[in-house]
Structure 1
Amino acid sequence: MNTYFTRGLPLCRPKMLPDEWVETYLFRVARANGIRYPRLSDTESFRPKLAATALSKADGYPIWSATRLPRSSVVTRVNKIRYCPECMMQSRHIRSRWRLTAFDVCTIHHIRLKDDLAEPVMTKGYKQEGKYFVSSVTDEQLWAGAVCPMPSERRHVEKLWSGFERSIVENDIPGAFEQLTHILFLKALLDAVLTTTREFKAAQKSAAQSTELAQLVEKYHFSLAADFNGIRDFLDQITVTAHRDVVLNRLHRMLTDEMHRPTCFSELPIADLRSRLLTSLQRRAVLADEIPCPDHEESDGYVSLNKAASIIGCPSRLVKHLIDSGVCHGVRSSRLGLRRYLLLSSQAVEACGRWRASVATREQAMNELRIDRRGFLALLRAGLLRPIAVDVYKFFLRADLTDLCQRLGDVSRPFPSKAAHLHSLLGEWIPFGGCYRSASLEVLKEAFSGKFPIFRQMESSGLSAYFVDHTALERVRRLKTGEIAGHEQENCSSGQLSLLVE
C-alpha cells in the first residue's frame, strides 16, 4: 500500500506552513496521500521530489540558511518534539525554531516548551506512556502540565530570543538567522561562564538551563543584546578571573572548531573578540595595579610573569623569550628564598600584547585566510608565507596575511555568471607531490602578480574567494614542458662536452 503511493511525485502536495519543521511536514504529506501510518522510507522518498524539502537532509536540522549551525545548537529528528501549547492551538504544525536546544521558552506567549509530542516511527521512544502523536493530540493534552517561566527567566529569554522569534513570524529569515548567530555565540560564552559557578556544580540535572543562565545573568548584572555590539559589551562586562579564563578558552576552541567545520560563527571575528577581551582585562590589571607576587601581594603596577602571560593569552615561556629578545622593557626581578621571579610593568605587558596581536598561529592564519591544509602548504612551499620562529613557536605576521589578500584584490576580476570552468586558487590543480608540483607553485606565485586572470567571488572571504581558469593550468603545462626540454638539452650538451674533452 505504502509503496504504491511513494512512486513518483506525490499527487497531493499541501502547502508548507510558516516555519514548519521539514520532518513533520513530510509525514503530513505522506498522510495527505493516503498513507495512514507513514514509514521513514515513505518520507525519504518524498524529500527530493518536493521543492520545499529538496535541500533538506535526514538529520532534521532547520534550513533557514545554507550556512551550517553548530551541531550542539540543534537536535536531530530522533529527539523529543518540543512545542508551545498556544502556538499549536493556533496552527497544528511543529515549528523549526523549536528544534534549537537553547530555545526553551516561547517569547510570544511566555510559555515553557513541552516535550511530550511524538511522530510515530521517527521519534525515539514514541511508544512510551505519556506520549501524544502530532496528528491526533487533543487540546487538553496540549495544555496538560504547561508552565510559565519565572520573572527573571522571562526577562532573560525576551532579551535574547524575542527579536529572533518575531523575525521568524514576520518571515524575515535572513534577519532572523543573523540574530540567531549572535544569540548562539552569546549562549556558548554564557555556558562557559556557567561551568565555573557554584550553582552549576550543585544543580540538579532536571533544572532547565535557561533558568540557570537567567540566574547567572542576574547575579553578575550582565546586560545582553542579540547583536554584535551585544557580544562586545558582554566581553567588556567580564570581571571575574575564572570567567575570563573559561571564555578565553572557549573562544580559542571556537577558532579551532571553525577551521575544521565552518559554521555561522565563522561570520564573526572571533580572533578580534578574543583580543578585545585580553586588552580590556589588561587595562583593568593596570588600573588596579594588580601584581600576583609570590606572596600574592599588590605592588607598584607590576604583574608576575604568569599573570602577564594570562593577560596576553600566550604561554609564559613565550613571554620570557620576548623579554630576553628585547621586545619589551620595564621588567624587574624579585627573589623569594632561592627562587627568582620576573615582574613586568604595565608598559611591558602592553608591548608583549601588541607583538602577540601582530602575529598569528598556523591555525589562526588558516582561519583568517579561509584556507585548508592543502592551501596553507601551497603558500608555504611557494614562499608566499614565511613563518617567524620564536623559541619553539612559529608565527605569521598578520600584515603578510593582509598583504596576500590585498595583492589578489588589486589584480582580480569580477566573478563570471558561468563559473563551471573555474578552479579554486588553492585547489587540487596544485598537487602535494609529483612532477607538476614545482611548476604549479611557480604559477601560484605568478597569480599574485596578476600574470593571468584571477576571479573574485564577492560573497566569499579570504583566499577562498579567488579562482583561476584554464590559463593557469596551461601555464603549468608550458612550464613543465620547458623544464623537461631544458633538462634534455643540458644532458645533451654535457655529453658533447665530455667527447670534446676526451
Structure 2
Amino acid sequence: MLPDEWVETYLFRVARANGIRCPRLSDTERIRPTLPTTILSKPDGYPIWSDSTLPRWSVVTRVNKIRYCPECMTRSRHIRSRWRLSVFDVCTIHHIRLKDDLAEPVMTKGYGQENRYFVTEVTDEQLWAGAVCPMPGERRHVERLWSGFERSIVESDIRGAFKHLTCILFLEALLDALATTSREFEDVPLGIPRSTELAKLVEGYRFPLSATLDGIGNFLDQITEPTHRIVVLARLRRMLIDESHRPTCLSNVPIADLRRRFLLGAQKNATTSPHALLYPSQARAAGYVTFQRAVSLIGCAPRLLKQLIDSNICQGASVAQYGGRRHIFLPQHTVEECSKWYASIATFEQVMKELGIDRRGLLALLSARLLRPIAVHMPTFFQRSDLTDLCRRLEDVARPFPTKAAHLHPLLGEWIPSSGRYRPASLKVLTEAFSGKFPVFRQMESSGLSTYFVDHTALERVRRLRKGDIARHRHQEYSSRQPSLLPE
C-alpha cells in the first residue's frame, strides 16, 4: 500500500495487477482476506488508522463520491484514506478545497454521469479543472483543526494522527451543533460549504480551537451564550448515550468529566453575572420565560415566534442586549395566549390532512373563497373554526349516500379543472354546492370533505354556466363592432 492509501482503491489496484482488467466487487472481496494489510478491513469502506471505530457521521461509505486534492493526486495517483472523512473539506498541505468528480468503476455511484472521471483514466488537466482555494478565514480555521492531523499522516505517525483525529471529531460535533442553532436565529446563506459556515461561527465568537484534550477544555470554557450552553450540554449528553451503545474513538475523550466541568462553569457564571434576566432560572422568578422555552411551550417554529414578536402580535417581550447578542424573554401570560392562538390555526398540510383533500382541492376552495387564509408575514395559516364551518355547512344540506354510486363524482374531483375555460363556472357551482342548490351526497365511511359527492346535476350546471358565459362574451364582442349612430 502507498502512504495513507484507501483500502478499497488499493484492492482494485491489486486486482488489476493480477490480471483482472475490469475488477468487480466480488473480486475485491475475494482478495481482501488474503492480504495482511486488508484482512481487518470491512467492505463499508471506512478508513482504518486504529482498532477504534469512527463515528458513522464522520465518514462516507464506498458508494459515495471520491473526493481528492488535485495537487496530491498529481504527485501520486492514489486515493488517500483521509479524504473519506466527511468533515475533511480542505487539504491543509496545499490549501485546496477537495473536489468530488472521481469515480471507481462498479464501486462508486455516479460513475456513468457527466463530468465524472475514472481514477485510472483521469488526466492532470481534468484533475485541476475547477479547483478552488478557501478564503483566508476558512483557511485559518481548517489549519487550526486539521494541519496537525494531516502532518502526522504524511510523516507516518499514525498513532499521533489518530489522537489528533479523535479531538478534531469531538470539536466538529460540538461546532456542528452550534452551527445548527445559529441557522435558526441568524440569516445564514444557503448553499455555502460546511467548513465556511463553521469558520464564520468560530471567528464571530472568537472560539479558541486546538485539537488536544486541553484545547477541548478551553473551548468549552469560552462558551458563554446561554443558547450555546444548552445546545452543547444536549450534544454532550447525546454523545454519552451513543458511546454507551456503540463505542467509537470518542470514548477516548473523558466526555462525562468535560460535561461535569461545563455544568460547574455554568453555575459559577450564574452566581457572578450582574445581568438579572440572562439565565432561565432568574427569568422564571421574574415571571418571564426564555425565547427557547416559549418556543417549546407554544410548539411553533422559532422563526414564526420571532415574527410574532417583531409584528407586536406577541406583546410584552423584553429584549436584553449582552455584548453582540440579544436575549429575548416573554411574559408567561403572553406565552399562554400565543399557545391558545397557535392551537386554533392550521397550516396548508394540516388543512389537507384534516379535510382529506389534496393540493388541487385546497386551491379550489381558496379560489372559490370558501376558505380564507390568515397571513402572518411569510407563513400562511387557516382558522380551524373555518374548517369546522365548511363541514357543518355540507352536513346541513347533504343527502344519504345512494346504493348505486357509479354516477357520482367527488365534491372536489376532476370536474373542477386546475385551469382553463371551465374553471370559473366550476368554482361557482362548488360555491352553490355548499348552499344546497343541487344534490350533495355523504358517504359515511370517509372523513373530511372526501366524504361528499355530487351527481350529474353539478356537471350540467357547469355546462349551462359556461354556455351562458360564451353567449355573453359573443354579444359583447358583437356590440363593440357595431358603429355608433350617436353624433360625436
Identify whether the pair has TM-score above 0.5, normalized to the shorter chain: yes
Contact kept? 1:290, 1:303, Cα under 8 Å: no
| Fraction of identical pairs, as percent | 68
User: In the TM superposition, what whole-angstrom CA distance separates every residue of 1:140-192 from its partner, at most 9, and x where no partner exists?
Assistant: 00000000000000000000000000000000001000110000000000001
Change (3 A) 1:201 1:115: farther
**Aligned: 1:118 with 2:103:** yes
For 2:174, which of 189, 194, 199 is the aligned residue?
Answer: 189
Which residue of 161, 165, 168 corresponds with 2:146?
Answer: 161
Computing the radius of gyration from Cα coordinates, the structure with the larger value is: 2
Cα pair 2:236 2:255 within 8 Å, conserved: yes
Deviations 1:372-420 (A, max 9, x none): xxxxxxxxxxxxxxxxxxxxxxxxxxxxxxxxxxxxxxxxxxxxxxxxx
**1:235 corresponds to 2:188:** no
Q: Which residue pairs with 1:149 in the alignment?
A: 134
- Candidates 39, 43, 59, aligned match of 2:28: 43
Distance 1:200 1:98, change over 3 A: farther
Q: Counterpart of 1:26 in structure 2: which amino acid? A: L
Instruction: Give the conservation status (yes or no) of the 8 Å contact 1:289–1:298.
Output: no
- Where does residue 266 of structure 1 map in the other structure? 251
Number of corresponding residues: 294
Displacement of 1:195 = 1.0
Which residue of 280, 284, 287 maps to 2:269?
284
CA shift, 1:303, in A, is: 9.2
Q: 1:177 aligns with which of 162, 177, 190?
A: 162
Q: Give the superposition deviation at 1:294.
A: 12
Q: Could you report, residue by residue, the CA deviation over 1:182-205 in whole angstroms, capped at 9, with x for unpaired residues?
A: 000000000011111148875455
Cα distance in 2, alignment partners of residues 200 and 281 from structure 1: 22
User: Which of 85, 94, 102 pairs up with 2:87?
Assistant: 102
Q: Is the 8 A contact 1:80 1:117 kept in 2?
A: yes
* Structure 1 residues 169 and 51: CA distance shift in structure 2, 3 A: same
CA RMSD of aligned residues (A): 2.8
Aligned to 1:140: 125
Query: What's the counterpart of residue 196 of structure 2?
Result: 211
For the residue of structure 1 that corresponds to 2:100, the secondary structure is: strand
Report the residue type matching 1:35 in the other structure.
I
CA distance in 1 between partners of 2:116 and 2:283 (Å): 61
Task: Write the distance in 2 (CA, Å) between the matches of 1:202 and 1:164.
Answer: 33
Matched to 1:43, the amino acid is T
Letter paired with 2:234:
N
Determine helix, strand or coil for the equivalent of 2:108: coil
**Offset, 1:207:** 1.7
8 Å CA contact retained: 1:82, 1:99: yes
Q: Say whether the 8 Å CA contact 1:194–1:200 is kept in structure 2.
A: no
Deviation at 1:35, TM superposition (A): 1.2
TM-superposed deviation, 1:206: 2.9
Structure 2 counterpart of 1:74, from 54, 59, 66: 59
Separation of aligned partners in 1, 2:178 and 2:152: 28
Shift of 1:293: 10
Q: Distance in 2 between matches of 1:103 and 1:155?
A: 14
TM-score, length-scaled by structure 2: 0.57
Query: Given the superposition, is the C-alpha separation of residues 303 and 24 from structure 1 closer, same or farther in structure 2, using an over 3 Å criterion?
Result: farther
Runs of 4+ in 1 over 2 A off after TM superposition: 198-206, 289-299, 302-307
Distance 1:280 1:100, change over 3 A: same
* Equivalent position SS for 1:257: helix
- Amino acid in structure 2 at the alignment position of 1:47: R
Distance between the aligned counterparts of 1:65 and 1:295, measured in 2? 43
- Structure 1 SS opposite 2:102: strand
Q: Which of residues 40, 54, 57 is equivalent to 2:39?
A: 54
CA separation of 1:272/1:38 partners in 2, compared to 1, >3 Å: closer, same or farther?
A: same
Conserved 8 A contact 2:288-2:332:
no
Q: Residue 303 and residue 100 in structure 1: after superposition, are their counterparts in 2 closer, same or farther (change >3 A)?
A: farther
Q: What is the 5 A alignment of 1:2-41? A: 16-41=1-26
Could you tell me how far 1:133 is from its partner in structure 2? 0.4
Residue 95 of structure 2 aligns with an amino acid whose one-letter code is H
Aligned-partner Cα distance in 2 for 1:337–1:228:
42
SS in 2 for 1:59: coil
Q: 1:249 and 2:231 equivalent?
A: no
CA distance in 2, matches of 1:225, 1:119: 35
8 Å CA contact retained: 1:195, 1:201: no
Q: Rate the CA distance shift 1:81–1:205 in 2: closer, same or farther, 3 A.
A: farther
